[in-house]
């Protein structure tokens, strides 16, 4: 890529999130982009939940989003389907190259609405040297919590996402369309595990989002281990080790997909130069070379398996790829964000108060039904 000095080059504005993983590679690539001018603005990680996607698309040409916003975006008709901008042969190549369900997470109502520039899921993280025998199952984690500081990630939407991951580990595989949020018997098991792990370390960390918790762990503070936290490669060489999320009784890894995709808003005047820029970001060289070299967390399986990429990043990618490949999706219907926010608050407050499972699960299910149109795609 070579920098352009063409003052007449198309000018675009993009919005991403304010963390080196979300911003540095995009900003560096935009600086070197050929044939266009692209400025990336930033908002906090919580901006994903606090601003309707339609408002962001009214102000920006490119929007970095996560998959639970897709139903809302489709309902408000604020994104251009990726299918209409790229050939089927390109989409087929991306389906083959991208790890886990990262690309599939942006397919909704028969079309793709974003391309997964970044792949992530909940994994296990522990401070280097803090745990001698790293657990692999939820039963082992409950035992470990008796002697080590084990903390759940409960802030923001993460209480509910942790609950969903434990349900997946215990065997709940929701059909689509999803008429109920979770199977009640499995929900009781997952709640019991979370209640058993809501000791003092979880209470102290209850207000920490994943970045804050990983910052504390990398500084030698915070918990010894978090069993489910969205993986950030940036901390894998800063005193934190990452591994696969815990398994349930059958050996199934339970994890809820994260990561982000790059969507193109309806306000955007799409040019060949812009599409070529996105193609480069979504190429093997961009994903396996450029993004990891600039604090990014790529979506291509080739990058996650690359020995050089892993050697430079504490083996983060190879150590957690099995979890990414098996990750589950969050609900994506219009109303999913409102449900996720409210239900996570209910669950977090119940765990911290020591409330019983049944009324908590009733409240979560009621919220799901209130925010989920009957028969809606998830």
Q: Looking at residue 342, which CATH number applies to its domain?
A: 3.40.190.10
- Residue 1: the pLDDT is 45
Phi, psi (rounded to 5 degrees) for 43? -135, 165
Strands (E), 132-288: 225-230, 240-243, 260-264
Q: Are residues 127 and 115 in the same domain?
A: no
- Residue 112 in any domain: the answer is yes
Q: Are residues 152 and 238 in the same domain?
A: yes
- Residue 6 in any domain: the answer is no
Nearest Cα to 212, choosing from 158, 262, 251?
Answer: 158
Span 301-312, pLDDT tens digits: 999 999 999 999
- Residue 4 in any domain: the answer is no
Torsion-angle region of 17 (φ positive above 0: left; ψ -120 to 50: alpha; else: beta):
beta
Span 256-279, pLDDT tens digits: 999 999 999 999 999 999 999 999
Q: Are residues 181 and 41 in the same domain?
A: no
- Residue 2 in any domain: the answer is no
Give the whole-angstrom CA distance, residue 223 versus residue 213: 8
Span 3-22, pLDDT tens digits: 444 556 789 999 999 999 99
Strands (E), the chain: 11-17, 37-43, 62-65, 107-108, 111-112, 115-118, 122-127, 225-230, 240-243, 260-264
- Residue 89: the pLDDT is 97
Q: Are residues 273 and 160 in the same domain?
A: no
- Residue 46: the pLDDT is 72
- Residue 321 in any domain: the answer is no
3-state secondary structure of 353: helix
Q: Are residues 173 and 229 in the same domain?
A: yes
Q: Are residues 226 and 277 in the same domain?
A: no
Domain count, the chain: 2
Q: Are residues 88 and 55 in the same domain?
A: yes
Give the whole-angstrom CA distance, residue 366 versus residue 290: 45
**Strand-pair partners of 125:** 226, 242
Is-cis flag, bond preceding 350, omega within 30? no
Q: Are residues 49 and 112 in the same domain?
A: yes
3-state secondary structure of 288: helix
- Residue 151 in any domain: the answer is yes
- Residue 215 in any domain: the answer is yes
Instruction: Please give the structure tokens belonging to residue 217.
Output: 């762990």
Q: Are residues 172 and 232 in the same domain?
A: yes
Q: Are residues 86 and 147 in the same domain?
A: no
Span 218-228, pLDDT tens digits: 999 889 999 99
Q: What is the pLDDT along the chain (378 residues), one digit of tens a residue?
A: 444 445 567 899 999 999 999 999 999 999 999 899 999 999 987 776 678 899 999 999 999 999 999 999 999 999 999 999 999 999 999 999 999 999 999 999 999 999 999 999 999 999 999 999 999 999 999 999 999 999 999 999 999 999 999 999 999 876 566 778 999 999 999 999 999 999 999 999 999 999 999 999 999 988 999 999 999 999 999 999 999 999 999 999 999 999 999 999 999 999 999 999 999 999 999 999 999 999 999 999 999 999 999 999 999 999 999 999 999 999 999 999 999 999 999 999 999 999 999 999 999 999 999 988 766 676
Q: Are residues 252 and 132 in the same domain?
A: yes
Q: Are residues 64 and 204 in the same domain?
A: no
Residue 143's contacts (CB-CB under 8 Å, 6 or more residues apart) are 135
Query: Residue 102 is part of which domain span?
Result: 11-119+258-314
Q: Which of 314, 345, 360 is the last residue of a domain?
A: 314
What's the predicted TM-score (pTM) here?
0.94
- Residue 246 in any domain: the answer is yes
């Amino acid at each position: 890529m070579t920098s352009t000095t063409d003052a007449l080059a198309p000018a675009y504005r993009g919005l991403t999130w304010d963390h080196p993983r979300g911003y540095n590679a995009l900003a560096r690539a935009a600086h070197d982009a050929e044939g266009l001018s692209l400025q990336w603005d930033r908002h906090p990680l919580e901006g994903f939940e606090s601003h309707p996607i339609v408002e962001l698309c009214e102000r920006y040409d490119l929007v970095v989003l996560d998959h639970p916003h897709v139903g809302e975006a489709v309902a408000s008709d604020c994104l251009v389907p990726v299918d209409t901008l790229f050939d089927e042969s390109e989409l087929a190549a991306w389906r083959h190259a991208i790890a886990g369900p990262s690309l599939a997470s942006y397919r909704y109502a028969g079309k793709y609405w974003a391309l997964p520039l970044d792949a992530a899921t909940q994994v296990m993280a522990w401070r280097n040297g803090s745990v001698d025998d790293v657990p692999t199952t939820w039963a082992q984690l409950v035992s470990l919590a008796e002697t080590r500081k084990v903390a759940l990630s409960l802030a923001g939407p993460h209480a509910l996402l942790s609950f969903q991951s434990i349900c997946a580990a215990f065997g709940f595989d929701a059909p689509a369309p999803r008429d109920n949020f979770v199977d009640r018997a499995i929900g009781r098991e997952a709640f019991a595990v979370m209640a058993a792990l809501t000791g003092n370390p979880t209470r102290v960390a209850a207000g920490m989002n994943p970045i804050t918790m990983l910052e504390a762990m990398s500084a030698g503070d915070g918990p010894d281990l978090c069993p489910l936290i969205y993986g950030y490669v940036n901390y894998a060489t800063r005193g934190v080790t990452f591994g696969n999320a815990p398994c349930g009784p059958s050996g199934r890894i339970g994890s809820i997909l994260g990561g982000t995709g790059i969507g193109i808003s309806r306000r955007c005047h799409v040019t060949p130069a812009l599409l070529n820029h996105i193609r480069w970001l979504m190429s093997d060289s961009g994903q396996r070379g450029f993004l990891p070299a600039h604090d990014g967390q790529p979506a291509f399986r080739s990058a996650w398996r690359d020995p050089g990429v892993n050697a430079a990043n504490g083996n983060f990618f190879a150590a957690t790829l099995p979890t990414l490949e098996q990750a589950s999706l969050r609900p994506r219907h219009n109303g999913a964000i409102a449900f996720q926010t409210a239900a996570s608050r209910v669950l977090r407050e119940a765990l911290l108060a020591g409330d019983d499972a049944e009324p908590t699960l009733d409240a979560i299910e009621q919220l799901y039904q209130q925010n989920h149109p009957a028969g809606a795609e998830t």
